[in-house]
Amino acid sequence: MRILIVDDDDELSSLLTELLTREGFRVDTQNDGRRGLAAALNGGYDLMVLDVMLPGLDGFEILKRVRREARLPILMLTARGEDEDRIVGLDLGADDYMSKPFNTRELVARIRAILRRLENRTAGDRFEVNGISIDPGSREVLRQGKPVEVTTFEFDILETLMRSAGRVVSRDELMEELYGRKATPFDRSVDMHISHLRKKLEGDNPLIKTVRGVGYQFVRSFDEGSAT
Residue-wise pLDDT for 196-210, tens only, equals 899 999 877 789 999
* pLDDT at res. 224: 56
Percent of all residues in the chain with a pLDDT value above 70, rounded to a whole number = 90
76-87: pLDDT as tens digits: 998 766 667 777
Looking at 120, 135, 152, the residue that finishes a domain is 120
Looking at 120, 143, 171, the residue that finishes a domain is 120
* pLDDT at res. 123: 53
157-169: pLDDT as tens digits: 999 999 899 999 9
Residue 202's domain comprises 127-224
- 225 alpha carbon, distance to own chain's centre: 28
Residue 201 falls in which region: left (phi positive, over 0), alpha (psi -120 to 50) or beta? alpha
* pLDDT at res. 174: 86
Asked if 204 and 138 sit in the same domain, the reply is: yes
pTM for the model stands at 0.70
Asked if 55 and 101 sit in the same domain, the reply is: yes
Asked if 93 and 193 sit in the same domain, the reply is: no
Highest mean pLDDT range out of 58-62, 93-97, 198-202?
58-62
The CATH code of the domain that includes 15 is 3.40.50.2300
Asked if 21 and 111 sit in the same domain, the reply is: yes
Asked if 144 and 98 sit in the same domain, the reply is: no
Looking at 120, 143, 178, the residue that finishes a domain is 120
Asked if 185 and 91 sit in the same domain, the reply is: no
- Number of neighbours of residue 170 by Cβ within 10 angstroms: 14
What is the residue-averaged pLDDT of the chain? 86
Asked if 19 and 74 sit in the same domain, the reply is: yes
Long-range CB contacts (within 8 A, 24+) of 118-126: 118/46, 118/73, 118/152
- What CA dihedral angle connects 198, 203, 204 and 206, to 10 degrees? -30
- Number of domains observed in the structure of the chain: 2
